[in-house]
Amino acid sequence: MDHLDPEQLARYALGDDVPLGTDEQAHLAACDTCRTEIEELRQLADLGHELRPDDRLDPAPPQVWDRVVDELGLREREPAPSSQYGGVAPRRDRRRLVFVGAVAAAVGLIAGALGARVLSSDEIAPQPQPVATTRLDPLEGKTGDGVADLIKSGGNTELRVGVNGLPAPQGFYELWLINTDGERMVSLGVLDPTTGGTFAVPPNLTSQGYRIVDVSLEPDDGKPEHSRDSVIRGTLPT
């Protein structure tokens, strides 16, 4: 007998109550092709069973189906000279189409599940929120501005700085934390005027009064001291 009907195989693989006659049972016992197709469909079904009820599934994009169809050579072809199929695709192609559909559906399930799980991870580990924020305003005769966020997470303290409108430097920009006494200061590093940056802050530094955020223009002279040429500045609230 011919191979079992693909729709019947699919229902059988998915555990539906599909009665098989004596001839069909004998064929299934002897036919490697039908048994392989059942096993492939069962593996696809197992992928679906691994998904949680709250997983949000997104359909596979149209190009997934197009690439699978191209790979298997299932694009429309000229009608066969013989009319033995009566305008219906040959049985072999119909079987392949059934399994192509299952594969495309499985791709959509996997992509949707991964997307949902990434979203779940983001919800479990949200980005830390700033504990203090200050605007960075230009000093007299200077241009540019910015924002500095103090972030504490997992025992670490960081200063996230974004800047705008700083002119191209003759030298480089440097980020400082200056103590409110106006005398002591600590350099946090070189600041990129186009991207800003995130800088590690030594423990307990801000609680000791280092709350003035200062961006200075420094010459390439190899000296570590502040140039006294501050461009923008702001003070973090206590």
Determine the distance from the C-alpha atom of residue 17 to the mean position of all C-alpha atoms in its chain, rounded to a whole number.
41
The span from the CA of 99 to the CA of 102, in Å, is: 5
Per-domain boundaries in the chain: 6-124, 132-235
Q: What is the pLDDT of residue 35?
A: 78
Q: What is the pLDDT of residue 113?
A: 47
94-133 as b/e, with b when 16 or more CB fall inside 10 Å? ebbebbbebbbbbbbbbbbbeebeeeeeeeeeeeeebebe
Q: What is the pLDDT of residue 141?
A: 95
Q: What is the pLDDT of residue 140?
A: 96
DSSP 51: S
Classify residue 86 as left (phi > 0), alpha (psi -120 to 50) or beta.
left
- Residue 227: CB atoms within 10 A of its CB come to 13
Residue-by-residue DSSP string for 198-238: EEE--TTTGGGTEEEEEEEEE-SS---S--S-EEEEEE---
Q: What is the CA angle 155-132-136, rounded to 5?
A: 125
Q: What is the pLDDT of residue 235?
A: 97
Determine the distance from the C-alpha atom of residue 84 to the mean position of all C-alpha atoms in its chain, rounded to a whole number.
51
* CATH number for the domain formed by residue range(s) 132-235: 2.60.40
Q: What is the pLDDT of residue 41?
A: 73
Q: What is the pLDDT of residue 124?
A: 53
Chunk the chain into consecutive blocks of 10 residues (it has 238) and report each block's average pLDDT, rounded to whole numbers: 68 63 75 79 66 55 60 50 42 49 50 50 67 97 96 92 94 97 94 95 94 97 94 96
Q: What is the pLDDT of residue 80?
A: 43
List the beta bridge partners of residue 233.
137, 214
The span from the CA of 107 to the CA of 213, in Å, is: 51
Q: What φ, ψ does residue 105 adopt, rounded to 5°? A: -65, -40
